[in-house]
Structure formats: C-alpha cells, structure tokens
Structure 1
Amino acid sequence: MSQSHFQELIQRTRAGDRVAENELLSKCRAYISLIARAQIEGWMRTKVDASDLVQQTLLEAHQGLEQFKGETEAEWLGWLRGILRHNTLDFARQYQGAAKRDVKREFSLDQNGANTGQSAAQKWELQDSMETPSRILLNREQEILMADAVSELPEDYQEVIMLRNLQRLSFKQVAERMNRSPGAVQMLWLRALNQLQERLEHR
C-alpha cells in the first residue's frame, strides 16, 4: 500500500469513515500479530494467546482514534506498537507481577539491504550483538509487507523466524524451544528465509 493511500485512509478514518477504519486496522493485523507473538515469552504462552493481545490492541486503537495525532504509516505503526507494549506489560503483570524481560523493545519488520543482491540468509542474518532489534529486519516502509509475507508461511517457518530474528535467540535456544536439533533448526531457518524472499519478490 502506497504512502499516499495510507495517509488517505488515516484522513478518511479521522472523518468518521468506518470502511476506511476497517481497512486501516485490517492491513495492520498481521503486523501486530507477529510482534505480539515475539513479545510473549515462553512462560507467558501458557497464559496468554497472542490473538488476545492483537484483539485488545486493535479494539483500543478503534476506541482511542482521537488520541492518534500522526499522519504517516510510520507514525500509525508506532502508535499501535505503543498500545501493544502497554497491553503486553499488563498481561505480564497480571500473571507474574512483572515482566520477566523488557518487552518495551520495538521490533521492526523491514528489509535492510533489500536491493543489494544479498541472499535472504545474508539479509536476515543477525548482526553484531550491539544491533538493536528495531534494525534487524530493516526499513519501516516495508514493515506491513514483511509481516503479511511472514504470516503466509507455514507455522514452523513463522516460528523459527520469530524466535531467531525477532526474539534474537541463538540457534541452540531456538532448538530447545522447538524441540529440534540446532542443525535442523538452522536448515529450517534457511528454508524459511528463502521462501520468505520468494514471496517478497513475487509481491
């Protein structure tokens, strides 16, 4: 979706156009869902379904539209992430008294170096440990596109990408979480990235 169309949807939504509002929120569902899944730690997964966080976030966005003061896609997504972070912390405090890790980190779904001829594995490989999560997947104009493409992958591909690229777990940690060997996880991850790249190129 072009920036101009996105901004038009925001303007129409502000004017009370429910069709535009529904389109605006539905376009961001896969994006919010992927981030919600990444923000829920293992101990929370038995207590909280990511879909509950998504529903709550979109509901609060609908109810609090007048609080959004931005004009662009980046500002809209940042606003939604803020609502999601607040809800995730609320769920965490409800079940554990406090979050076990900092869920305030922002996860960005972008494509750094998307046009440099790099392979999917090279584009998505984690950089040095000082890199922030918001730079793992690249530039914000591609966040919704990336999330939509990830949501179309098989469940195990989504899981390995989420754990490796969003939660920044080591292959050993991912293997433990997915009950696979580290070698099997690396192969799964590479296949997932290659399929994701194919979907992005097709789009």
Structure 2
Amino acid sequence: MSQTHFQELIQRTRAGDQAAENELLQKCRAYISLIARAQIEGWMRTKVDASDLVQQTLLEAHQGLARFKGETEAEWLGWLRGILKHNTLDFARQFQGAAKRDVKREFSFDQYGTADSRSTAQKWEMKDSTETPSRILMNREQEILMAEAVSELPEDYQEVIMLRNLQRLSFKQVAERMNRSPGAVQMLWLRALNQLQERLEHPEERK
C-alpha cells in the first residue's frame, strides 16, 4: 500500500473508522502470518499453531491501537513485529527455555541485494553466512506485497522459502525438515522463487 494510503488509513482509524481499521489489520495478515511461521521452531510447531499467534497479535494490535504513535508503514510493521515477538516468547515460555532463544531472532523483509537485472534466485542466494536475517528479501516498502505474494504460492513453495530465506537454513537442513533430498529441495526453491517473481512482476495475473 502507498504511504499516502497508509497514512489515510491511520488517520481514519484514529478517528474511529472501523472499516479503515479492519483494512489496516487485514492488509498485514499475510505478512504477520509468514513471520509467525518462521519464528516457530521445530518441535514447537506441534504445540503452537502459527494462526493462533497471528490472531493474538492482530487482537492485541486492535486493543492497543491508541499506543501506536507512528505515522509510517515501516513504523506500523515494526510495531506489529514487536507484538508478535512478545506473543511468540510467551508461547515459548510455556514449553522450553531453548525455544525462547530461537524465537528472539528478528525476521524481516529488508533489502537483499540490489535492484538490478539479476534474477530473483541470484539476488536471494545467500553467499555470505554472516548475512543477518534482516537482509533476506526485498525493500521494506514492499514487505506487505511480498508476503501477500508468498501466501498465494503452493504450500510446499511457501515452506521452502520460509525455511531457506527466513529461517536461513542450509539446503541440507531444509531437506531434513521437508523429508526430501538436498537436490530436490534446491530445485523446489528455485521453482518457488521463479513463480514468486512472476507474481510480483505481473500482479494483474494474481488471484
């Protein structure tokens, strides 16, 4: 959503416009859902449903809107990520201390690579293991658009992107999680990125 439209939604929401608030929260659902899935580690997935985290986060955002003092979309997304992180840690405390350490990692969609002629796969290939998770996908201004496009992909494409690009797992680790060979996972990942790129370049063809 454009910065102008976002600011308009914020102003209308603060004025008590329920429709504006609903639009503001729903536009971020796919974004929060993808990050929630990335933050639930291994065995914790069998105990916590990412959709529960999403619902709780959006509910608390609704209840605490008066506490949001920002004006930009980046500030809004950062505020939502803070609520999600707090909720994820709360869930982790119910189970095991190790999970708390895992979910403290920050997942975002900051720029990875530059906007040149390279393919999505080339831009997203992680060549340096010291790269932080905050430099994985695309420009912050495109976070919501990216998350919406990912959410429209087949489930196995979503999974491989989430594991490889958000959780920063190696192809071997992704293969173990998805019960496939490393080679098969790498091909799946490339197909997922190509389909994602097509959806981003041709939004009119998206459902």
Instruction: Place the TM-score, normalised by the shorter chain, in its bin.
Output: over 0.9
Q: Does 1:193 align with 2:193?
A: yes
- Partner SS, residue 147 of structure 2: helix
Q: Distance in 2 between matches of 1:101 and 1:86?
A: 13
1:75 and 2:75 aligned? yes
Contact 1:53 1:87 in 2 (8 A): yes
Q: Deviations over 1:31-59 (max 9, x none)?
A: 00000000000111000000000000000
Separation of aligned partners in 2, 1:98 and 1:9: 39
Letter in 2 for 1:133: P
> TM-score normalized by structure 2?
0.94
Does the CA-based 8 Å contact 1:111-1:142 persist in structure 2?
A: no
Aligned pairs for 1:135-154 within 5 A = 135-154=135-154
User: How many residues align structurally?
Assistant: 203
User: Which segments of 5 or more consecutive residues in structure 1 lack a partner in the other structure?
Assistant: none
2:23 aligned residue:
23
Equivalent residues in 2 for 1:12-161, closer than 5 Å: 12-97=12-97, 99=99, 101-110=101-110, 112-113=112-113, 115-161=115-161
Letter in 1 for 2:174: V
Q: Which runs of 5+ in 2 are unaligned?
A: none
Normalising by structure 1, what TM-score?
Answer: 0.96
Q: What root-mean-square deviation, in Å, do the aligned CA atoms of Structure 1 and Structure 2 show?
A: 1.3
Contact residue 89 and residue 103 of structure 2 kept, 8 A: yes
Q: Is the 8 A contact 1:57 1:84 kept in 2?
A: yes
Residue 192 of structure 1: how far off its partner (Å): 0.2
**SS in structure 2 opposite 1:101?**
helix
Matched-pair contact (CA < 8 Å) for 2:9–2:24: yes
Q: Name the SS for the 1:55 alignment partner.
A: helix
Question: Aligned partners of 2:130, 2:110: CA distance in 1, in Å?
Answer: 18
Contact 1:13-1:21 within 8 A present in 2 as well: yes
Separation in 1, partners of 2:80, 2:116: 30
Letter in 1 for 2:35: I
Aligned residue identity for 2:11: Q
Q: How big is the shift at 1:131?
A: 1.1
Query: Aligned partners of 2:98, 2:42: CA distance in 1, in Å?
Result: 15
Quote the Cα distance in structure 1 between the aligned partners of 2:155 and 2:99: 26
Q: Distance in 1 between the 2:59 and 2:176 partners?
A: 35
Give the residue type in structure 1 aligned to 2:26: S
Counterpart residue identity of residue 36, structure 2? A
